[in-house]
Structure 1
Amino acid sequence: MLNLDTRLRQAAFQRLEAITRQFSNDVPWEAIAEPVPMGEETFYIASRAIGIFKPRQMPDGILSIKTVVPKQGRVNIYSDGASDEGGFWYSLEAGGTAKAANRQLLISYERQDPIIYLMGVAPGRYFPLWPCYIDSVDLARELCHVSMRERIGDVRLVAETTGTYDVDELEKRYVIREAKTRVHQAEFRARVMQAYSNRCAMTGLPVPQLLEAAHIIPDPHPGSTTEVSNGISLSRLHHRAYDADLIGIDPDYRIHLNDDLLSTQDGPLLESMKQLNGHKILTPKRLDQKPSKEALELRYQQFLSR
């Protein structure tokens, strides 16, 4: 029979798998804060007030670490970020081993416990990474180094702690690169969704689970940026149509459907899309977040050439 520590981690990973299916890589705090059932009781994955977290049921060690993106006007107190070694730096609580949270983190480091990293991508929004492992702890700098050794969100049987973990370095670098790519995508999506008030710019659909952040200049293109001005909030359907140049947006924010789409006759969904032709998209209130006219012109010329 699995011990309590392992059962807690399994249940936490399974909850994260469920909520990331629902919210993709941009999970609201409210979903993370829901209690997780385990047998006849419940436990929590993280705390709003603290970064290094251990549920009360867990004998020792930690379950999760968390960073936040502060609201505008507040100072970001975190020094966390990507490291040159691959993986991420995470700040310990000030005070070294005098702080109980740091002592519990050291236990998980020594045992190589699989933990959760809730990485803030926007105020109140998080990108969950799991299973993560603490590679090293620097008490003098009050930092620890965190990385992944398995595919992100791999909810397989959480092994009993063994104190050692051998991993192929090439595989580890691949997993870390995959994680950083997904963090980048989650940060971009969260900022675009916030700018557009969680609505589709074409239809006004206000269902975040059905929305995506479309790049005006595609990500692989050398002219692409991660600024909100290079993004548009679109429903999954309209995002696919935009990426396929079935729909274009001109520099005056006006929507255009290509001739093939306009001439196709097939049901109410397509007819509702046709009604967008000639209408303007919704845009953010802040001028610096509105779609770049230069980027729209470049992308619109691609649409016209198809």
Structure 2
Amino acid sequence: MLNIDTRLRQAAFRRLEALNQQYSNDVPWEAIAKPIPLDSESFFIASRAIGIFQPRQMPDGILSIKTVVPKQGRINIYSDATSDEGGFWYSLEAGGTAKRANRQLLISYERQDPIIYLVGVAPGRYLPLWPCYIDNVDLAKELCHVSMHDRAGQARHVAESHGAYTVDEIEKRYVIREAKTRVHQAEFRARVMLAYSNRCAMTGLPVPQLLEAAHIIPDTHQDSTAEVSNGISLSRLHHRAYDADLIGIDPDYRIHLNDNLLSTQDGPLLESMKQLNGQRIAIPRNDRDRPSQEALELRYQRFLTR
């Protein structure tokens, strides 16, 4: 039978897998904070009050670490950031090994325990990364380095050795890019959802699980930015239609449907989309977050030529 440490970690990973499926890498604290059943009791993944967390059922070591994006006006006490090594620097509790949380983190570092990193992407919203490993601790600077090094093998089917590079070096670069991309996407989505009050800008649909942050200028374009003004909250269906240029939005925030879409006759769902033609999207209250009219014009011109 598996020991309690392994069973706790496996149960926590299963819960996070389900949450990621439900919330698309932008998980609210309320969902993370729900207890997880195990045998005749339950345990928690993390704590709202502390960053380095060990469930009471875990004999030693830690289960998770967490960084937060503070609410406006509060001071951010964290200095965590992505690193060139393909992971993240994480701040220990001030006080070194005199603090119990730091001692438990060192145990997980020495054993190479798989842990969870809850990366704050907006106030009360997190991107869960797992399994992560602590691969360096600097007690003098009160920092540790967290990475997902066991995922490098997943790159073998897309990375081929060439030139002066070895497969391991290519895999490392792949993991660096993957980690940074996931954090970037989750931060962008969380900020766009917040600006649009978790509603679709076209339909008003208020179900976050069915909403996505659509880029006006695609993130693959050289002129794309990660600013909220380059994003619009859309349902998954309307996001796909926007990306396919079946729907366009002009600089006055007015919606236009492709002529082929307008002429197609196929049931109530399509008819409801047709009713959007000529309507204006809802825009954020904050002027800074409203869709860039310059970006909309550039994107709308592409829609007109399709």
Q: Which residue of 2 aligns with 1:171?
A: 171
Q: Distance in 2 between matches of 1:56 and 1:176?
A: 33
Instruction: Tell me if structure 1 keeps the 8 A contact 2:26–2:127.
Output: yes
Q: Distance in 2 between matches of 1:280 and 1:109?
A: 53
Q: Distance in 2 between matches of 1:151 and 1:295?
A: 37
Q: Which residue of 2 aligns with 1:220?
A: 220
Q: Distance in 1 between matches of 2:73 and 2:237?
A: 36
Q: Distance in 1 between matches of 2:249 and 2:272?
A: 17
Report the residue type matching 2:126 in the other structure.
Answer: Y
Secondary structure in structure 2 of the residue aligned to 1:65: strand
Q: Which residue of 2 aligns with 1:74?
A: 74
Show CA shifts across 1:200-254 (max 9, x none). 0000000000000000000010100000000000000000000000000000000
C-alpha change, 1:49 and 1:9, in structure 2 (3 Å) is same
How high is the sequence identity, in percent, across the aligned residues? Answer: 84
Aligned pair 1:193/2:193, yes or no?
Answer: yes
Instruction: Tell me if structure 1 keeps the 8 A contact 2:192–2:231.
Output: yes
Alignment of 1:199-214 (within 5 A): 199-214=199-214
Q: Which residue of 1 aligns with 2:84?
A: 84
C-alpha change, 1:169 and 1:113, in structure 2 (3 Å) is farther
Q: Which residue of 2 aligns with 1:94?
A: 94
Unaligned runs of 5+ in 2: 155-166
Secondary structure in structure 1 of the residue aligned to 2:150: coil
Q: Distance in 2 between matches of 1:42 and 1:169?
A: 42
Instruction: Tell me if structure 2 keeps the 8 A contact 1:121–1:190.
Output: yes
Query: What RMSD, in angstroms, separates the aligned Cα atoms of the two structures?
Result: 1.4
Secondary structure in structure 2 of the residue aligned to 1:150: helix
Aligned pair 1:280/2:280, yes or no?
Answer: yes
Q: Which residue of 1 aligns with 2:301?
A: 301
Instruction: Tell me if structure 1 keeps the 8 A contact 2:51–2:67.
Output: yes
Q: Which residue of 2 aligns with 1:11?
A: 11
Q: Which residue of 1 aligns with 2:108?
A: 108
Report the residue type matching 1:135 in the other structure.
Answer: D
Q: Distance in 1 between matches of 2:218 and 2:256?
A: 19
Unaligned runs of 5+ in 1: 155-166
Deviation at 1:173, TM superposition (A): 3.7
C-alpha change, 1:38 and 1:171, in structure 2 (3 Å) is farther
Number of aligned positions between the proteins: 293
Q: Which residue of 2 aligns with 1:126?
A: 126
Instruction: Tell me if structure 2 keeps the 8 A contact 1:148–1:176.
Output: no
Q: Which residue of 2 aligns with 1:159?
A: none
Normalized against structure 1, the TM-score is what?
0.94
C-alpha change, 1:169 and 1:7, in structure 2 (3 Å) is farther
Q: Which residue of 2 aligns with 1:270?
A: 270
Alignment of 1:134-173 (within 5 A): 134-151=134-151, 168=168, 170-173=170-173
Q: Distance in 2 between matches of 1:143 and 1:186?
A: 24
